[in-house]
Structure 1
Amino acid sequence: MEFSQSVIDRVVARQGCLHPYDHFKAAETAFVVVDLQNFFTQPGYLGECKAARATFPAVNALAAALRQAGGHVIWVQTSADGAEKFWSHFQHNMLAPKNSARRLTELSESHEGFQIPNALRVDPSDTRVIKRYYSALSPGSSNLHDVLQAKGIKNVLVGGTVTNVCCESTARNAMMLDYVTVMVHDTLSAVTPQEHQASLEGWLLFFGDVLGTDEVIARLRTD
């Protein structure tokens, strides 16, 4: 992924280099895949991000490489069950009534929209986490932090959709909980290329690194 020279110059001036992490110990690394559910990736659903489907091969490749190296893959899924109460201002004020009703229906855990598409290879050894808000690490959203702590995770690789909403929200919280946090750009997608680019530029400037799947795999260490 290419960044403007001005962004690169600011990052290097702040931290002395563009990419500060030369390796990741696989056993201490988790690939956190956010919201790659039918609701957010497949045609006909309210939350469809068309670009998400193109990221599936990279998501599968990174997940497979990390498993093989002894790392961890965590699939985070949004559930809207009860959201009319626990997130009432969003459901009732930020969505038109028909869209609110569709979200509650299509993101219910009993609906096919909640499920992960068959094109994504989920392994029985992987962990699944259910979240309620944009960030999986905001208070009351999920048990992701507890899961990461129990596994001894120090490095969090973030993929999924959409880049500038749930993925970035989760990644920001991970960084501020002192995890080494990397946005893996080719496993991420947004509704427009401009939103994807802007999100990752802001991330690189202030929060953590941005790497591609091949760059992450090259940095994985088993010892």
Structure 2
Amino acid sequence: MYGISQEIIDRVVARRGRLHAYETIEAARTALVVIDLQNYFMKPEYPSSVPAAREIVPKVNEAARVVRSRGGTVVWISTSSDGAEKFWSVMHEHLLTPQQERGRRAGLQPGSDGFALWSGLEVEPLDLQVTKRTFSALVHGSSPLESDLRGRGIDTVLIAGTVTNVCCESTGRDAMMLNFKTIMLADALAGKLASAHVAALSGFIENFGDVMLVEEMAARLA
């Protein structure tokens, strides 16, 4: 199931008494949070492109249509590198080569081609668009996402986008620890490596929340 091993599924069931933590989802209190489907991560010419991310776009759009149609909120998250060499110096000075550091700052500058959302996404005027500064959209100082969600009475977060085991997992874990019910949408997420994608889903369902397909989420969305 989702590539997750039977051993982990058995441990999840033993721990919570069932596989899925959330059998019903209240649409009006739910937000689909779509992370980093920007040209920088989508277009083949960018070094950080994720080929699998282009493949999940139909599922992301399907999830967005379902959530909207039932009264939920859709949020498109974009990463900005503006000023990152200062506020995130550990990342930029120590975890990237000078060439990669320059490429990241240039590619994710607001207003650049890399910063723009992928053209195949069905973004609607009433959707929220939020800019984040670090991997997690919910860590302190990264974005206004938490206050946006609280202000709308949201208590459930569905995570989609890329990269599964980096920004998506980071945001999902923080959402759970901020007391949001959190569900990773397995077929609306993409990693650079299938093994890393599955590992992130495995760790998430065991300790942080739920993992579902878009179809399974839609069936539970009341």
- Is TM > 0.5 for Structure 1 vs Structure 2? yes
The SS at the match of 1:184 is strand
* Structure 1 position 110, deviation (Å): 1.8
Aligned to 2:65: 64
User: Normalized against structure 2, the TM-score is what?
Assistant: 0.98
1:145 correspondence with 2:154: no
Gaps of 5+ in 2: none
Q: Secondary structure at the match of 2:114?
A: helix
Q: Name the residue aligned to 2:23.
A: 22
State yes or no: 1:113 paired with 2:145.
no
Which residue of 1 is the match for residue 50 of structure 2? 49
Shift of 1:20: 2.0
One-letter amino acid of the structure 2 residue matched with residue 42 of structure 1: K
Tell me if the contact between 2:33 and 2:158 (Cα under 8 Å) persists in the aligned partners. yes
Equivalent position of 1:185 in the other structure: 186
Residue-pair matches, total: 221
Taking the aligned partners of 2:138 and 2:13, their CA distance within structure 1 comes to: 29
Show CA shifts across 1:85-104 (max 9, x none).
11112111111111111111
SS in 2 for 1:210: strand
> Are residue 76 (structure 1) and residue 77 (structure 2) matched?
yes
Instruction: Provide the secondary structure at the position in 1 that maps to 2:129.
Output: strand
Contact kept? 1:46, 1:103, Cα under 8 Å: no
1:98-133 superposed Cα distances (whole Å, 9 cap, x missing partner): 111111101000211001111011000100110000
Go from structure 1 to structure 2 and tell me whether the alpha carbon gap of 1:2 and 1:101 turns closer, same or farther (over 3 Å shift).
closer
Aligned counterparts of 1:83 and 1:162: Cα–Cα separation in 2: 19
Regions of 4+ moved over 3 Å: none
Quick one: distance in 1 between partners of 2:47 and 2:109?
Answer: 13
Shifted more, 167-176 versus 14-23: the winner is 14-23
| Contact 2:36–2:161, Cα closer than 8 Å, also in 1 | yes
State the AA in 2 paired with 1:182. I
Identity, % of aligned pairs? 48
Q: Say whether the 8 Å CA contact 2:3–2:198 is kept in structure 1.
A: no
Shift of 1:140: 0.5
Partner of residue 206, structure 1: 207
TM-score by length of 1: 0.98
Distance of 1:82 and 1:20 partners within structure 2: 39
**Secondary structure of residue in 2 paired with 1:129:** strand
Identify the residue that residue 167 of structure 1 maps to in structure 2: 168
Looking at structure 2, the residues matched to 12 and 215 of structure 1 have their Cα atoms a distance apart, in angstroms, of: 18
Distance in 2 (alpha carbons) for counterparts of 1:186 and 1:81: 31
Unaligned residue ranges in structure 1 (runs of 5+): none
Can you list the C-alpha shifts for 1:28-84, whole angstroms capped at 9, x where unaligned?
Answer: 000000111000111111321111000000000010011010100000100001001
Match of 1:33 in 2: 34
* Higher mean C-alpha deviation, range 78-87 or range 39-48: 39-48
State the match for 1:10 in structure 2.
11
Q: What secondary structure, in the 3-state scheme, does the structure 2 residue paired with 1:171 have?
A: helix
Q: Distance in 1 between matches of 2:100 and 2:90?
A: 14
**Cα root mean square deviation, aligned:** 0.7
Find the aligned partners of 2:187 and 2:197 in 1 and give their Cα distance. 10
Match of 1:96 in 2: 97
Q: Distance in 2 between matches of 1:196 and 1:202?
A: 10
Counterpart Cα distance in 1 of 2:106 and 2:4: 39
